[in-house]
Amino acid sequence: MELGTARTLASPEGRAMLAALPPYSPETAEHMNARLRAHGMEPDLAAAALTQLALRHEAASKLGEVAQILLLTRTGLEQATRTVVTAHHAARFRAAGSTLVADLGCGLGLDSLAVAGLGMGVVAVERDPITAAFATANLEMFDEARVLQRDALGVDLAELGADALWADPARRDVGGRRLSDPNAWSPSLSALLERARSVPAAGIKVAPGIASEHIPDDAHVQWVSVDREVVEAGMWFGDAAPEGPGRSALVVVGDRAHRLAPDGGGPVPPSAPHEDAPVAGLGAYLHEPDGAVIRAGLVAELGRRIGAGIVSDRIAYLTSDAPAHSPFARSFRVLERVGAGRKALARAVAEREIGELTIKQRGSGVNVDEIRRGLRLRGPNRATIVLTRVAGDHTALFVEPVADAP
């Protein structure tokens, strides 16, 4: 899209035109394009308008209803923070008493929207001209929010009067590949850390798989999952981290959020090695900790809370004789233990006439796709099998999911 077309779409007339269009449907898109052109709309603008409708349609599950009034780009939507998570970011700034948050690399402005929505001022900085034009339109409903189109590292936080910093750096290269080195992110983690320590409250969104050597000991790092998918880790500093340096997990299921942090025993630096959970004999239930709990190194903590131990050294499956009834784990009733060799598995699946099989594995060292290819899945039955180690031995367990805790 040309910058001129983006500016036209972002103008009050452009947004009124978009608002007047019927909702997106792939079947009628071509017809609508023809209609817009017949009414004298430039081909570029007609195509861009239809793209907006399609992106809004796609964005609904990630961004909720607000998507229908936002201006979006494909990259901006991919990078945008989910609305349920932006609300948690913004709540930290409000609790910190922040009055003006600088959002360094604001993208389409989803995090800024949540901050402004809680009544704080926002200066959102974005260097890409089209993204900045759309962020300006997206934030226009808030008097206390403004967008600066420039390099975020060139802004002087003190001059802006910002008392808080938020940054969600771009973590992919131009070809769309993930950059594992935080200093290759844009802005780089080191530049953001330096600025984070210059304000009373700060947060930086980082990749959930960030290596511990990149985690500073003055951060509180919170891994976040939404409906069982780990979506980010947030590094929080100063007044935005009232819990102090350490690690926690925030597990969002539906519209409820649950926080898990180490209980007592004093603060643990976020880069400290994860605590080993004790191994327990296989019980009647297997518990799969949420990915955010695993990333945060809190499997042992969860085990203590639900009275369970791990099935084998360094394997993040917990086991006990009762369901976990916890938002931090999914429990499975252990139905049967069968041989873990390929032939034994094939026989077990055939004997039980299993036509649909969910295979889970942890610590078994096998390739699930290869295992699946070696099985003849025929028959009316469905099953779930877990390939793992129990007290060091390769094991296959038929299990049945227990309904999630309400």
Ligand X SMILES: C[S@@+](CC[C@H](N)C(=O)[O-])C[C@H]1O[C@@H](n2cnc3c(N)ncnc32)[C@H](O)[C@@H]1O
- Cα(250)–Cα(257) distance, rounded to whole angstroms? 7
Q: How far is the CB of 276 from ligand X (least distance, A)?
A: 35
Q: Which is nearer to ligand X, 234 or 303 (by Cβ)?
A: 234
Q: Which is nearer to ligand X, 128 or 140 (by Cβ)?
A: 128
Q: How far is the CB of 311 from ligand X (least distance, A)?
A: 37
187 binds ligand X (CB under 6 A): yes
Cα torsion through 167, 168, 171, 174, rounded to 10: -90
- Cα(282)–Cα(280) distance, rounded to whole angstroms? 6
Q: Which is nearer to ligand X, 59 or 292 (by Cβ)?
A: 59
Q: Which residues pair with 279 in a beta bridge?
A: 310
Task: Figure out which of the listed residues 116, 122, 125, 396 binds ligand X, where binding follows CB under 6 A.
Answer: 125
Question: Applying CB under 6 A, what is the total number of residues that bind ligand X?
Answer: 22
Q: Which residues pair with 406 in a beta bridge?
A: none
Binding mask 160-179 for ligand X (x = CB under 6 A): --------x-x---------
What would the two tokens of residue 377 be?
């899945």
- Among the candidate windows 107-115, 281-289, 341-349, 357-365, which touches ligand X by CB under 6 A? 107-115
Vertex 241: Cα angle to 98 and 165 (nearest 5): 45
Q: Which is nearer to ligand X, 226 or 345 (by Cβ)?
A: 226
81: left (phi over 0), alpha (psi -120 to 50) or beta: beta
144 binds ligand X (CB under 6 A): no
- Cα(120)–Cα(203) distance, rounded to whole angstroms? 15
155 binds ligand X (CB under 6 A): no
Q: Which is nearer to ligand X, 36 or 137 (by Cβ)?
A: 137
Between residue 57 and residue 86, which ones bind ligand X under the rule CB under 6 A?
Answer: 79-81
What are the Cα distances from residue 181, in Å, to 170, 221, 240, 291, 312?
12, 18, 25, 22, 32
Q: The tokens 């200093």 sit on which residue? A: 183
> Taking the CB of residue 306, how many other CB atoms lie within 10 A of it?
19
Beta pairing, strands 121-126 & 309-310: unpaired
Q: Which is nearer to ligand X, 207 or 399 (by Cβ)?
A: 207
Q: Which is nearer to ligand X, 126 or 288 (by Cβ)?
A: 126
Q: Which amino acid is present at 129?
A: P
Q: Which is nearer to ligand X, 206 or 359 (by Cβ)?
A: 206
- Cα(399)–Cα(331) distance, rounded to whole angstroms? 9
- Helix or strand holding residue 399 (H, E): strand 393-401
Q: How far is the CB of 150 from ligand X (least distance, A)?
A: 7
Instruction: Enter the DSSP assignment of 186.
Output: B
1 binds ligand X (CB under 6 A): no
Q: Which is nearer to ligand X, 105 or 363 (by Cβ)?
A: 105
186 binds ligand X (CB under 6 A): yes
232 binds ligand X (CB under 6 A): no
Q: How far is the CB of 243 from ligand X (least distance, A)?
A: 23
- Among the candidate windows 14-22, 102-110, 273-281, 302-310, which touches ligand X by CB under 6 A? 102-110
Task: Figure out which of the listed residues 45, 49, 72, 108 binds ligand X, where binding follows CB under 6 A.
Answer: 108
- Cα(29)–Cα(44) distance, rounded to whole angstroms? 15
111 binds ligand X (CB under 6 A): yes
Where does 87-198 show beta strands of DSSP type E? 100-104, 121-126, 145-149, 164-167
Task: Figure out which of the listed residues 14, 109, 203, 238 binds ligand X, where binding follows CB under 6 A.
Answer: 109
Q: Which residues bind ligand X (CB under 6 A)?
A: 79-81, 105-111, 125-128, 131, 151-153, 168, 170, 186-187
